[in-house]
Amino acid sequence: MKVYTDLFDQIISPENLFAAWEVFKADKRKKADVARFEYALEKNIFGLHRDLRSQTYRHGPYHGFWITDPKQRRIHKALVRDRVLHHAIFAVVNPIFEPTFISRSFSCRIGFGTHRGVAALHGMMRKVSGNSTKPCFVLKCDIRKFFDSVDHAILLAMFEKRIKGEKTMRLLKAIIESYDAAPVRERERERERE
Give tens-digit pLDDT for 99-136. 999 988 888 888 888 899 999 999 999 999 999 999 99
Q: What is the pLDDT of residue 121?
A: 93
What pLDDT score was predicted for residue 194?
66
pLDDT tens for each residue of 128-171? 999 999 999 988 887 878 888 899 999 999 999 999 999 999 99
Closest among 68, 69, 47, 44 to 57, alpha carbons compared:
47
Tell me: cis bond preceding 70? Omega within 30 of 0 counts: yes
Q: For helices 41-53 and 32-39, what crossing angle results, to 10°?
A: 80
Handedness of CA 19, 23, 27, 32 (dihedral sign): negative
Do the beta carbons of residue 91 and residue 15 sit within 8 Å? Answer: no
Q: State the pLDDT at residue 108.
A: 81
- Report in angstroms the alpha-carbon separations of 45 from 18, 22, 39: 7, 12, 11
pLDDT per position as a tens digit, 90-101? 999 999 999 999
pLDDT at residue 184, as a whole number: 56
Distance CA 89, CA 182 (A): 25
Listed in order, strand segments (DSSP E) in 17-150 are 63-68, 72-77
Average pLDDT estimate for 175-184 = 80
The rounded Cα 61 to chain-centroid distance in angstroms is 16
Predicted pLDDT of residue 149: 87
Helix axes 14-25, 41-53, angle to 10 degrees: 130
Q: Alpha-carbon distance 79 to 141, whole Å?
A: 31
Q: What percent of the chain clears pLDDT 70, i.e. is strictly above it?
A: 93
